[in-house]
Amino acid sequence: MQGKDDLANKPTEDKVKAQKELVEGLKVQWKLLWNERINDEVRAEGISVANYESLRVERGTIIHATRDFKPLNFKEILETHMVENPERYLQPDRREGGWGKFVKTEITKNQGQKTKRAQDFAPKKPKGKQAKKSGRGWLHAP
């Protein structure tokens, strides 16, 4: 028999699954759009080859250009499809540090505590003998 908590979480799990499937479908369309584009080298533009209804891009739409152009944004597409928390499905921005910075700031936050604890229990190294000639070395003898 299922508890009350299981019944309460069931609709949200289905909703999350449906959103994941929607996002996966959109990602497939997004990759197709960028892989199948025509590069017009004279005008320095990328042009879509087919219609992508889910992305709201028609055939012949300029998807990449060098000047005076507002590029397509996958986050905006997710927002138009009313996906909750679209940042969860996107990669970290390259201009803000990308995956490397994300790992350093988000995943390894508690690593400092672990290393400090390991240092507390590490065996202590002996300091050694006193340095000769006040630490100046052999060549600097008066």
> Cα–Cα distance between 65 and 40 in angstroms, integer?
10
Tokens 């070395």: give the residue. 137
> Cα–Cα distance between 34 and 110 in angstroms, integer?
39
Sheet containing strand 38-40, strands side by side? 38-40, 45-47, 62-65
> Cα–Cα distance between 89 and 23 in angstroms, integer?
8
DSSP code per residue over 66-93: SSS-----HHHHHHHTT-SSGGGGSPPP
The CA distances from residue 1 to 4, 5, 6, 7, 10, in Å, are 10, 12, 10, 11, 14
Quick: pLDDT tens for 39-76: 888 888 888 899 988 888 889 888 888 877 788 888 88
> Cα–Cα distance between 48 and 60 in angstroms, integer?
5
Q: Which two tokens stand for residue 27?
A: 């990602």
Q: Return the higher-pLDDT residue of 3 and 47.
A: 47
Model pTM score? 0.57
Q: Given pLDDT bands bounded at 50, 70 and 90, which one contains residue 133?
A: low
Quick: pLDDT tens for 64-120: 888 777 888 888 888 888 888 887 787 777 777 777 887 887 777 666 666 677 777
Tell me the domain boundaries of the chain: 4-107
